[in-house]
């Protein structure tokens, strides 16, 4: 009984860590990008200050907005929190991650996106509709590619549960699997597309013709905007943790001792910092793609996922 | 053979095999000639490093020589030669519009599955390490043929032909523990001569019909 209580407590603490640390990750990416582009960087805590400021502003809602527009920020934020509870951050074998697998995770992302697209259409401005249609185009191509990458992983680990899959990777030691190489690259490409980072969407711009995510949330303000921003920072961190913990899980805690947990926290933060550095580097090096080339980019990600699946069967199967 | 039982070098060779398969797919979807040649050189580099690793694991000095030959010919000399032709004929700005690219890519994926299906009895009856990569090398051969069918430029055909040769070479490495040196040297110089001869053909084709697009070849009739 006490054990069970401890496990649930750990799960809640881990989800809380996700929520608390995600603006820090966003701040770190911004800091890296600024330094790489020879600009003066804002403080790492700037995203927290922005969120604080937004929560204290009065939200302005359009006259035509329906109830959908009001509840959407809350739905998105809670979907992201639920998604965060299924992803192992510092410890595996938690009750929340044991009850939901990676397909549920994709489902939470889809739920959040569905409401966001509806809210973009709800107020009836041209930009909202444009952003929604673009978002749905991209996500309908990105989702199958994501599932393909996930299936590659689950064929090797023979489970779709993230905790068990990570345990499998830890148990087998260091093995160079061709299918994992493909799945890793596919997942990186998809993460960039889904979180709206540079070759697909530019998170820093409000230039009308190119924006996707920003176009949908253009009408939000105050605490609604704060929740949506926070949710998208959470999503970025979720993808980062997925990549770091599935493919390089070494260091994650398997026993709930203080030393193991604190080591795991330090290690995952170091891994995320490294991943974010790569992201900032690629965002500095590459320019945004034309919208009609995004389809090519995502079909390449799909091809990688498919080849990962094939190379698992061809190159790694046991006879 | 389960991948966990293999040593790290063999795992690396299998990963390189998978990447060689990927480069074949990349060539298939490439509309720009210079980029095609670059991906071809990349495939050569992966092939050379796979050969070098195989030489190390099999402890076979001959394979070091063929790895060096692959590096010299397929990574530097032949891509340089083809690149020079492309630049000289001023074709580096052309983007070939590939019609039904999606079907070609799906066809490529099914060719890979087909080659696995064909080779499954062979692979499951032997104990040779690395033989799993045989299916990949056969699919590199088939994808090279598909590249020759689906592209219209004569230069793309030559690149497809060379990548077929890459596939055969890779098959020879993973199924035997290195061919006799005479055979390998013979093949390497055959490829070299072929590359030079193709260059001469390019000159003649472009001189006579003013393009390297093979769809234009049926305009060769005398009365126009």
Residue in chain A closest to B117 (alpha carbons) equals: A314
pLDDT at residue B200 in the model: 86
Q: Do A315 and B133 touch (CB under 8 A)?
A: yes
Cα–Cα nearest to A71, from A115, A107, A114, A131: A115
At A249-258, the pLDDT tens digits run: 988 888 888 8
- B4-58 tens-digit pLDDT: 777 888 888 888 999 999 999 999 988 888 999 999 999 999 999 999 998 888 8
Residue B128: pLDDT band (50, 70, 90) is low
How many angstroms separate the CA of residue A172 from the nearest CA in chain B?
8
Q: Supply the pLDDT for residue A57.
A: 93
What confidence score (pLDDT) does residue B221 get?
61
Residues of A in contact with B123 (CB under 8 A): 319
What's the longest Cα–Cα distance across chain A?
Answer: 66
Count of domains in chain A?
Answer: 1
How far apart (Å, rounded) are the C-alpha atoms in residues A13 and A297? 37
Beta carbons of B18 and A182 less than 8 Å apart = yes
Mean pLDDT of A303-319: 83
DSSP state of B73: I
Task: Indicate if ipTM > 0.85.
Answer: no
Nearest to B14 among A178, A182, A318 (CB): A178
Of the candidates B11, B116, B136, the beta carbon closest to that of A175 is on: B11
What is the arithmetic mean of pLDDT over A102-110? 93
What integer pLDDT is reported at residue B1 of this predicted model?
Answer: 47
Look up tokens 């290195």; give the residue.
B178
Inform me whether the pLDDT recorded for A319 exceeds 70.
no
Q: Mean pLDDT, to the nearest integer, of B69-80? A: 92
Mean per-residue pLDDT, A8-25: 92
* Averaged confidence pLDDT in chain A: 90
- Weakest mean pLDDT among A34-38, A202-206, B135-139: A202-206
pLDDT in tens, B6-17: 788 888 888 899
Dihedral-angle region of residue B35 (phi above 0 means left; psi in -120 to 50 means alpha; beta otherwise):
alpha
CA pair distance B213, A8, nearest whole angstrom: 67
Angle subtended at Cα B173 by Cα B164 and Cα B6, rounded to the nearest 5 degrees: 125
Helix, strand or coil, per DSSP, at residue B130: coil
Residue A270 reports pLDDT greater than 80: yes
* Interchain pair A176, B113: CB under 8 A: no
At A228-243, the pLDDT tens digits run: 999 999 999 999 999 9
Across A281-306, average pLDDT: 89
Q: Mutate which of B25, B132, B135 to test chain A, going by most A C-beta atoms within 10 A?
A: B132
Return the pLDDT at B88. 86
pLDDT at B129 over 70: no
Q: What local confidence, expressed as pLDDT, does residue B147 receive? A: 93
The pLDDT, as a whole number, for residue A245 is 92
Kindly tell me if the per-residue pLDDT of A318 is higher than 60: no
User: How much of chain A exceeds pLDDT 70, in percent?
Assistant: 98
Measured between alpha carbons, how far is residue A127 from residues A124, A134, A210, A295 in Å?
A: 9, 11, 11, 21
What's the pLDDT at B220?
60
d(CA A135, CA A116): 9
Q: Between these two residues, A298 and A205, which has the higher pLDDT value?
A: A298
Structure tokens at B216: 């234009």
Q: Please tell me the distance from the alpha carbon of residue A271 to that of residue B102, in angstroms, as a whole number.
A: 37
Which one has a higher pLDDT value, A94 or A57?
A57
A176, A311, A319 ranked by CB distance to B124: nearest: A319
Strand, coil or helix: what is A1?
Answer: coil
pLDDT at B205: 80
Say yes or no to pLDDT of B72 above 50. Answer: yes
- Which of B109, B123, B133 minimises the CB distance to A306? B109
- Domain limits for position A141: 2-316
Question: What pLDDT, on a 0 to 100 scale, did the predictor assign at position B180?
Answer: 81
CB pairs under 8 A between A and B: 67
Domain ranges of chain B: 8-92+105-214
Q: Is the Cβ pair B116, A179 closer than 8 Å?
A: no
> Pick from A181, A303, A319: which is nearest to B15 by CB?
A181
Question: Given this model, what pLDDT does residue A98 score?
Answer: 79
Interface with chain A: mutation pick from B3, B23, B49, B116, highest number of A CBs within 10 Å? B3
């Amino acid at each position: 009984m006490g054990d069970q209580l401890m496990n649930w407590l750990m799960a809640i603490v881990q989800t809380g860590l996700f929520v608390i640390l995600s603006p820090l990750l966003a701040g770190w990416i911004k800091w890296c990008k600024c330094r790489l582009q020879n600009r003066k960087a804002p403080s790492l805590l700037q995203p927290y200050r922005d969120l604080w400021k937004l929560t204290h502003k009065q939200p302005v809602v359009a006259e035509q907005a329906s109830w959908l527009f009001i509840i959407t920020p809350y739905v998105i934020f809670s979907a992201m929190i639920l998604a965060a509870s299924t992803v192992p951050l510092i410890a595996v074998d938690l009750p929340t991650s044991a009850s939901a697998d990676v397909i549920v995770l994709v489902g939470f992302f889809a739920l959040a996106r569905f409401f966001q697209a509806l809210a973009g259409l709800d107020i009836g401005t041209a930009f909202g509709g444009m952003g929604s249609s673009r978002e749905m185009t991209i996500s309908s191509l990105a989702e199958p590619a994501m599932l393909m990458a996930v299936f590659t992983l689950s064929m090797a680990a023979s489970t779709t549960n993230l905790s068990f899959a990570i345990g499998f990777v830890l148990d087998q030691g260091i093995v160079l699997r061709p299918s994992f190489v493909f799945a890793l690259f596919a997942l990186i490409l998809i993460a960039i597309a889904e979180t709206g980072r540079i070759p697909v969407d530019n998170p820093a711009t409000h230039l009308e013709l190119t924006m996707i995510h920003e176009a949908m949330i253009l009408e939000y303000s105050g605490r609604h905007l704060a929740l949506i921003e926070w949710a998208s920072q959470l999503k970025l961190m979720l993808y980062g943790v997925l990549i770091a913990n599935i493919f390089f899980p070494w260091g994650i805690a398997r026993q709930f001792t203080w030393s193991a947990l604190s080591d795991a926290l330090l290690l995952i933060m170091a891994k995320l910092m490294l991943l974010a550095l790569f992201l900032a580097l690629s965002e500095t090096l590459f320019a945004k793609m034309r919208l009609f080339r995004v389809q090519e980019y995502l079909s390449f990600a799909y091809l990688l996922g498919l080849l990962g699946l094939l190379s698992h069967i061809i190159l790694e199967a046991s006879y | 053979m389960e991948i966990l039982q293999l040593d790290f070098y063999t795992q690396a060779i299998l990963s390189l095999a998978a990447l060689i398969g990927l480069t074949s797919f990349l060539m298939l979807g490439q509309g720009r000639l210079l980029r095609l040649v670059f991906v071809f050189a990349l495939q050569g580099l992966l092939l050379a490093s796979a050969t070098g690793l195989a030489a190390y694991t099999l402890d076979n000095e001959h394979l070091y020589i063929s790895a060096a030959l692959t590096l010299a010919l397929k990574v530097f000399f032949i891509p340089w030669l083809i690149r020079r032709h492309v630049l000289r004929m001023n074709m580096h700005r052309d983007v070939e519009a590939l019609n039904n690219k999606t079907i070609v890519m799906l066809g490529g994926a099914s060719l890979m599955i087909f080659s696995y299906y064909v080779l499954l009895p062979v692979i499951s009856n032997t104990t040779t390490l690395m033989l799993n990569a045989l299916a990949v090398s056969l699919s590199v051969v088939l994808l090279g043929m598909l590249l020759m069918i689906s592209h219209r430029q004569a230069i793309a055909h030559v690149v497809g032909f060379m990548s077929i040769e890459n596939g055969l070479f890779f098959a020879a490495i993973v199924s035997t523990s290195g061919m006799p040196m005479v055979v390998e040297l013979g093949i390497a110089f055959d490829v070299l001569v072929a590359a030079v001869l193709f260059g001469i053909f390019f000159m003649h084709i472009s001189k006579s019909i003013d393009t390297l697009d093979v769809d234009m070849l049926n305009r060769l009739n005398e009365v126009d």
